[in-house]
Structure 1
Amino acid sequence: MSTLYIFGIGGTGSRVIRSLTMLLAAGVELKNCDRVVPIIIDPDATNGDKQRTIELLKTYQRLRSQIKPAAPGTSTAGQFFGADIQTLASLARPGEQRDTRVKDTFEYSFSGMEEPLRDYLRYTSLPVESQYLVDLLFDPKSLDENLKVGFKGSPNVGSVVLNQLVDSPEFQFFGNEFRAGDRIFFISSIFGGTGAAGFPLLLKNLRDRDANLPHIELLNTAPIGALSLLPYFSLKSEDSSAIDSNTFITKTKAALAYYQQNLHGLNAMYYLGDQAQKQNDNHEGGISQQNNAHFIEVVGALAVLDFLDKPESIAQEEHFYEFGLERDENDLRFEHFDRRQTLPKVGEALTRFHFFATWLQHHLDETMSATYATNLGLKNAWDRDPFYQDLRRFLFDYNSPDRQFISYTAWLRELRDNSRRFRPFNLRDGYDPQNHWDSMADLLEPDFDKSVAGKELKKKGLFGKSDVIDPKQIRVMLDKRLSQAVANDTASSPATAMVRTFTEVMDEVVHGQQLLQ
């Protein structure tokens, strides 16, 4: 079983993993990979972007755990929630003793983050010569800054603190579980503190033959890819904030110069950035740092998929990649994707997943007495069963605690409302998340014919009254497929039958209308 380990470093790493999780939920296929293990590295324990992504991953994992193949070896490729996403700790083999410090979570837990950098370095205990060196490398303000919200755009601080990663029990466990055929991918920004410092540091140790890591010979030769995001947003100026987005370009140039001279052993490097920048609120960290999803983060998720498409022989090579649009516009739809690569890879999967969400929101209630709903017991299970509660949480932020928007529909709204709009589907206007936050699903256009932006279908019939995509026909297809699954006992649980059937039916609907041709 081959594994992709994704190190999401800093807030940018969390945001790209969020978009990747949406693509995997939609059934976008992973090549040369059986499971994905995200490891989020961010010293800011309460970072809003990180917490939102972790909650999304946990919800995905709970859903996936209840969607079991009917028989061993049955493929779930292309199915909604088909990709296997696991925590690092869950990789422990039967009977294997795992270090109790390796927690069953998607994030790496830092220690010593509740103190200033000066105390973290044990400055007063250092020899006087070392104190002089510290004073030369760090200004007094940096030394006195508390580390609990991260490095505030200072990679020189991050490079010191992140050194603890290599000797941590989590990193040792990662090395112990690594096997031939596994791959590694880094996601980080190049204009901040955590990502710019963490990525080259980790890469250096994985390619160091003398590093104190288990299976170092495999880590030395494994395929490694990385995504470095150049500035794609700016921040409002705040005199009280240590982060100034006016320095982003300068930091990027400095980091690129360092990468050029010192970044060795990387097989696939992806660079992304965007000039259509929106000014976000300036938050140094904490729960308030929760940026809207951006199109660049979707493209970043595509970089991960592209890396997996490469043959294993890429481990012997070095390649550098960029991404381009068919047309450089600020209002993007599926038609801006390359028709040979990107569109077939994600367009169809996202469309059928969107139709799935649309059906559950706008057409499920009226078909609760249908054969498919009866076979699934939806009338009693929809509001009570933990699987369906998690499904509604994932899709619509149903019962969202603390106004923490993790859902697919929230993600679509954020992409639509950013400075470079990504609008693959038509969403309804007039939605106010501040006052109606529990009605996120109201965003979805109920008419399938009007759902895909730029591909609205015209009505058939003499007076244009009949639907091209007819909900009545979809109901017939669901009834037939579910009845067959129950009769043949090809599903091991109602959750499995439900997800598999909806995947197949919505796939047939999308292909039948050739929506993305």
Structure 2
Amino acid sequence: MAKLFIFGIGGTGSRVIRAFTMLMAAGVKIQNCDKIVPIIIDPDSQNGDMNRTVELLKTYKRIHNHLGSRPEGFFHQDISTLASVAGRTDGNIPDSFVYNFSGKNKSFREFINYTQLSVDSKALVDLLFTDENLSNSLDVGFRGSPNVGSVVLNDIMNSDLIRYFATNFQQGDRVFFISSIFGGTGAAGFPLLLKNFRDPNSGLPNSGYLNHALMGAITVLPYFSLEQPATDGNPEAQDFIDSNTFITKTKAALSYYQNNLQSLNALYYIGDTPEKPLENHPGRAAQQNEAHLIELLSALAIVDFMDYSPDQLQGEMHFHEYGLKEDAKNIHFSHLGTESKDKIARDLIRFNYFDQYFTEHAPQDTDAPYFKATNLGSAMRNEAVFKELQQFLRSPQYGFHAWLKELRQNKRTFEAINPEEKDFNRMVADKTIESSFFDSGLKPKTILKEIGNLNIKETEPDTFKRVIKIFEGATKNMVEEKLKYQ
């Protein structure tokens, strides 16, 4: 069973994994892979972006585990924690999607034992790091300072988690890195991990497999800016991140990448012109940014990388840069390239139809034969997996519906699907279903009839599995026969 290990490094890593999980829930297929293992690396254990992504992944995993392995459909892709990959948990490896940075609730000065250094070493440290760098607490990340991150993250290579990862890495497995190039954690962590994974003398288990494995990465260039709060009289001013340095950091990192990332098989670039400054939160729970189109398109890089066969990724390194068909502010599916559109459009449309009908209309179908046959009312109230599904779809913190709404809030919006639209005929921005006196198009009663027809043919005894299969079939027919989306 081939595995894909995804290292989401820093806040951008978490946000892209959130988008990727939405694609997996919608049924987007990943080729050349049986199991996906996300590993989030972020020293800020209270980071809002990270924690909601973790909750999303946990919810997805519980839903998938109930449905079991299937070749296609909603939640069909196996997403597992590192600890569960071998079918057991190790006492030193928590059953979690996150690397545990325990013991990092100290300043950088304390982390490097500054007071114990020799005079010459102190002089070198003072040359490389500002007093602000040395004083900053590590439990909220590196505040956009990759020079700090590169020192702290070196500890990861000696961790139980990395050794457990390497122990379970087999021939045919792949690795994909997600990071920003303009921050602290991602800019430092990605090159460090790649360098060590490719080192045949790293001392890691299965270093031969790692050295020859297919590895890809997306490095996200600046796509947002941050408000710069007044510093006068503000004791927390030094904690804020200065987004004016993003471009300078990007140029420096690109220069390094040019000479030091040749061991990758494929490298993806993406970015956008920042226009709407976000609130400046250096870390913890307050750092929870609204979903962005860039993160959705970055998730597509993972899908694209896995589409390549091993033979296609041999030889010279592949470089990819994402571009829209036109520089539009409100993005529809028609603004994406044909390949991108074909990969995600129909699946996201189907999943939105499912979300809208299951959440808004199914609870009122109490007299419908399918509702009675599945005892759906009782199941929705009492079965844990139905509650998990409701959270995945409608949690205001991390759910699918909230994610679609967030994508519409930035300067460059993703408006291909309108989650607030109640008319099924008008939910897809670039394809309206025409209706007339004789044909109402796609209405709740039409969908109910389709669900009823599928329920008659369905023999699955498990209520949750049966409901998911019915809605998979109904939404497929809705897209193909009513929407006729091409």
User: Under TM normalisation by the shorter chain, which class is it?
Assistant: over 0.9
- Of the three residues 425, 428, 441, the one matched with 1:452 is 428
Residue 160 of structure 1 corresponds to 151
Query: What amino acid is aligned across from residue 134 of structure 1 in structure 2?
Result: V
Given that 1:80 and 1:503 are in contact with CA atoms closer than 8 Å, whether structure 2 keeps it comes out as: yes
- Give 1:260 shift: 0.8
Residue 405 (structure 1) aligned with residue 404 (structure 2): no
Query: What amino acid is aligned across from residue 454 of structure 2 in structure 1?
Result: R
Query: What amino acid is aligned across from residue 457 of structure 1 in structure 2?
Result: I
Residue 512 of structure 1 corresponds to 481
- Deviations 1:378-415, CA, capped at 9 Å, x for gaps: 12111221111111111111xxxxxx610111101110
- Give 1:315 shift: 4.3
Residue 171 of structure 2 corresponds to 180
Alpha-carbon distance in structure 2 between the residues aligned to 1:85 and 1:492: 25
Query: What amino acid is aligned across from residue 41 of structure 2 in structure 1?
Result: I
- Of the three residues 344, 354, 357, the one matched with 1:356 is 354
Residue 104 (structure 1) aligned with residue 95 (structure 2): yes
Question: Please, which moves more after superposition, 314-323 or 114-123?
Answer: 314-323
Alpha-carbon distance in structure 1 between the residues aligned to 2:197 and 2:327: 38
Which secondary structure state, in structure 2, belongs to the residue aligned with residue 416 of structure 1?
coil
Alpha-carbon distance in structure 1 between the residues aligned to 2:461 and 2:377: 20
Residue 423 of structure 1 corresponds to 415
Alpha-carbon distance in structure 1 between the residues aligned to 2:367 and 2:90: 51
Residue 11 (structure 1) aligned with residue 11 (structure 2): yes
* Residues 138 and 346 of structure 1: CA distance in aligned 2, closer, same or farther (over 3 Å): same
User: Which aligned pairs between 1:69-218 and structure 2 lie closer than 5 A?
Assistant: 75-77=70-72, 79-93=73-87, 99-218=90-209
- Of the three residues 277, 282, 285, the one matched with 2:283 is 285
- Of the three residues 496, 500, 510, the one matched with 2:469 is 500
- Give 1:334 shift: 1.1
- Deviations 1:338-370, CA, capped at 9 Å, x for gaps: 22x111110000001011011112321332221
User: Which aligned pairs between 1:381-392 and structure 2 lie closer than 5 A?
Assistant: 381-392=379-390
Which secondary structure state, in structure 2, belongs to the residue aligned with residue 270 of structure 1?
strand
Residue 401 of structure 1 corresponds to none
Alpha-carbon distance in structure 2 between the residues aligned to 1:391 and 1:421: 26
Which secondary structure state, in structure 1, belongs to the residue aligned with residue 285 of structure 2?
coil
- Deviations 1:444-465, CA, capped at 9 Å, x for gaps: x222111111322221226xxx
Query: What amino acid is aligned across from residue 499 of structure 1 in structure 2?
Result: I
Alpha-carbon distance in structure 2 between the residues aligned to 1:262 and 1:510: 46
Given that 1:149 and 1:286 are in contact with CA atoms closer than 8 Å, whether structure 2 keeps it comes out as: yes
* Residues 472 and 301 of structure 1: CA distance in aligned 2, closer, same or farther (over 3 Å): same
- Of the three residues 422, 436, 444, the one matched with 1:471 is 444
Query: What amino acid is aligned across from residue 216 of structure 1 in structure 2?
Result: S
- Of the three residues 481, 485, 507, the one matched with 2:454 is 481
Alpha-carbon distance in structure 2 between the residues aligned to 1:422 and 1:447: 19
Given that 1:224 and 1:315 are in contact with CA atoms closer than 8 Å, whether structure 2 keeps it comes out as: no
Given that 2:226 and 2:280 are in contact with CA atoms closer than 8 Å, whether structure 1 keeps it comes out as: yes
Which secondary structure state, in structure 2, belongs to the residue aligned with residue 284 of structure 1?
coil
Given that 1:99 and 1:169 are in contact with CA atoms closer than 8 Å, whether structure 2 keeps it comes out as: no
* Residues 137 and 492 of structure 1: CA distance in aligned 2, closer, same or farther (over 3 Å): farther
Given that 1:224 and 1:268 are in contact with CA atoms closer than 8 Å, whether structure 2 keeps it comes out as: yes
Query: What amino acid is aligned across from residue 129 of structure 1 in structure 2?
Result: D
- Give 1:276 shift: 4.6
Given that 2:68 and 2:76 are in contact with CA atoms closer than 8 Å, whether structure 1 keeps it comes out as: no
Given that 2:262 and 2:317 are in contact with CA atoms closer than 8 Å, whether structure 1 keeps it comes out as: no
Alpha-carbon distance in structure 2 between the residues aligned to 1:149 and 1:470: 49
Alpha-carbon distance in structure 2 between the residues aligned to 1:286 and 1:515: 45
Residue 300 of structure 1 corresponds to 298
Residue 247 of structure 2 corresponds to 249
* Residues 118 and 410 of structure 1: CA distance in aligned 2, closer, same or farther (over 3 Å): same
- Give 1:264 shift: 2.5
Alpha-carbon distance in structure 1 between the residues aligned to 2:316 and 2:368: 55
Alpha-carbon distance in structure 2 between the residues aligned to 1:268 and 1:209: 20
Query: What amino acid is aligned across from residue 128 of structure 1 in structure 2?
Result: V
Alpha-carbon distance in structure 2 between the residues aligned to 1:148 and 1:5: 25
Alpha-carbon distance in structure 1 between the residues aligned to 2:90 and 2:262: 31
Residue 440 of structure 1 corresponds to none
Which secondary structure state, in structure 2, belongs to the residue aligned with residue 383 of structure 1?
helix
Query: What amino acid is aligned across from residue 474 of structure 2 in structure 1?
Result: V
Could you list the structure 1 runs, at least 4 aligned residues long, displaced by more than 3 angstroms after superposition: none
Residue 329 of structure 1 corresponds to 328
Alpha-carbon distance in structure 2 between the residues aligned to 1:46 and 1:492: 42
Which secondary structure state, in structure 1, belongs to the residue aligned with residue 269 of structure 2?
strand
Alpha-carbon distance in structure 2 between the residues aligned to 1:202 and 1:128: 31
Query: What amino acid is aligned across from residue 405 of structure 1 in structure 2?
Result: Q
- Give 1:67 shift: 0.7
Q: Compute the RMSD of aligned alpha carbons.
A: 1.5
- Deviations 1:171-191, CA, capped at 9 Å, x for gaps: 000000011111000000000
Query: What amino acid is aligned across from residue 413 of structure 1 in structure 2?
Result: K
Alpha-carbon distance in structure 1 between the residues aligned to 2:279 and 2:62: 33
Alpha-carbon distance in structure 1 between the residues aligned to 2:274 and 2:156: 35
TM-score, normalised to structure 2's length? 0.95
Given that 2:176 and 2:217 are in contact with CA atoms closer than 8 Å, whether structure 1 keeps it comes out as: yes
- Deviations 1:14-55, CA, capped at 9 Å, x for gaps: 000000000110000111111111000000010000001001
* Residues 386 and 93 of structure 1: CA distance in aligned 2, closer, same or farther (over 3 Å): closer
- Give 1:492 shift: 5.8
- Deviations 1:397-434, CA, capped at 9 Å, x for gaps: 1xxxxxx610111101110111101011224xxxxxxx
- Give 1:124 shift: 1.8
Alpha-carbon distance in structure 1 between the residues aligned to 2:67 and 2:172: 26
Residue 57 of structure 1 corresponds to 57
- Of the three residues 187, 198, 215, the one matched with 1:224 is 215
* Residues 306 and 492 of structure 1: CA distance in aligned 2, closer, same or farther (over 3 Å): farther
Given that 2:433 and 2:482 are in contact with CA atoms closer than 8 Å, whether structure 1 keeps it comes out as: no
Query: What amino acid is aligned across from residue 295 of structure 2 in structure 1?
Result: E
Residue 260 (structure 1) aligned with residue 258 (structure 2): yes
Residue 235 (structure 1) aligned with residue 226 (structure 2): yes
Aligned residues: 478
Alpha-carbon distance in structure 1 between the residues aligned to 2:330 and 2:436: 29
- Gaps spanning 5+ residues in structure 2: where? 232-236
Residue 33 of structure 1 corresponds to 33
Query: What amino acid is aligned across from residue 417 of structure 1 in structure 2?
Result: Q
Percent same amino acid among aligned pairs? 46
- Give 1:112 shift: 2.8
Alpha-carbon distance in structure 2 between the residues aligned to 1:261 and 1:324: 25
Query: What amino acid is aligned across from residue 389 of structure 1 in structure 2?
Result: K
- Gaps spanning 5+ residues in structure 1: where? 70-74, 398-403, 428-442
